[in-house]
Amino acid sequence: MAELNTGDGGGGKGGKVRSKKQNSKVDLTAMVDLAFLLITFFMLTTSLSKPQSMDLSLPNKDEDPNKPKIDTKVDENRTMTVMLGDNNKMVYYMGLLATPKVGPKDIAYGKDGIRRELLTQKKNVLAYSAGKGKPDQGIIVIIKPTKKSNYRNLIDILDEMAISGVDTYAIVPEFSPEETKLIDKQPE
């Protein structure tokens, strides 16, 4: 590699010519290294700094989305209700609250909590629907966020829906007195 050398011309006339030749070239390796490093940095930061987002579609408001069980005559064996309380509390049950198939039970967020349960129930419902001859009818999840639940809880549960592949879900912030009692109950 050519280097800038200043002092080691050393010898006679022949040496002088040589040192001049060497001077004409500058080592660009370090400069190229730096340039590529910066390129990489800018490339990554421009594409990574874009905010990610999550799609959410809600039903039309006028059609009263609040009573899917009654209005659209949904089979209660297919519904799962998830209530979000304060302090990351979550209660779920299958079917109707008066005659629940599973639960009501407290459950945690994350892969060992709600996700495992969602996947199990999803499978059960699919098996049930297949038994009735309608294998395309999957689970319906009703998400009920209380006034004390926060935005993170909502995003978390919507995320669980996306992860476990549940595509029929509704956000229904309405509570029967029994449900309120259930979610307000402090753990013993």
Partner 1 sequence: MAKIKMKKKSTSTDMTAMCDVAFLLLTFFILTATAKVPEALPVDTPSSTVQTKLPDSDLAIITVGKGKVFFDLKGREIRKRTLEGMGAKYGVTFSEDDKTKFALMDDFGVPVAGLKQIIGMNSADRTKANQPGIPLDSLDNQLKDWLLVSRRAAIDLDDKELQIAIKGDAKEEYPKIKKIMDILQDQKINSFNLVTGTRGKDF
Contacts with partner 1 by CB under 8 A lie at 1-2, 25, 27-29, 31-32, 35-36, 38-39, 42-43, 45-46, 49-61, 84, 110-111, 145-156, 158-159, 162-163, 173
CA-wise closest residue to 154 among 165, 144, 166, 168: 144
Q: How near is the Cβ of 95 to partner 1 at its closest, in Å?
A: 25
Q: Is 84 exposed, middle or buried (0-12, 13-18, 19+ CB in 10 A)?
A: buried
Q: How near is the Cβ of 23 to partner 1 at its closest, in Å?
A: 14
Q: How near is the Cβ of 69 to partner 1 at its closest, in Å?
A: 21
For residues 68 and 172, the answer to whether their CB atoms sit within 8 Å is yes
Cβ-based nearer residue to partner 1, 39 or 97: 39
Which residues contact residue 175 at a Cβ distance below 8 angstroms, ignoring those fewer than 6 apart? 83, 144, 146, 183
Cβ-based nearer residue to partner 1, 54 or 98: 54
Cβ-based nearer residue to partner 1, 79 or 153: 153
Q: How near is the Cβ of 67 to partner 1 at its closest, in Å?
A: 17
Helix axes 151-164, 116-131, angle to 10 degrees: 50
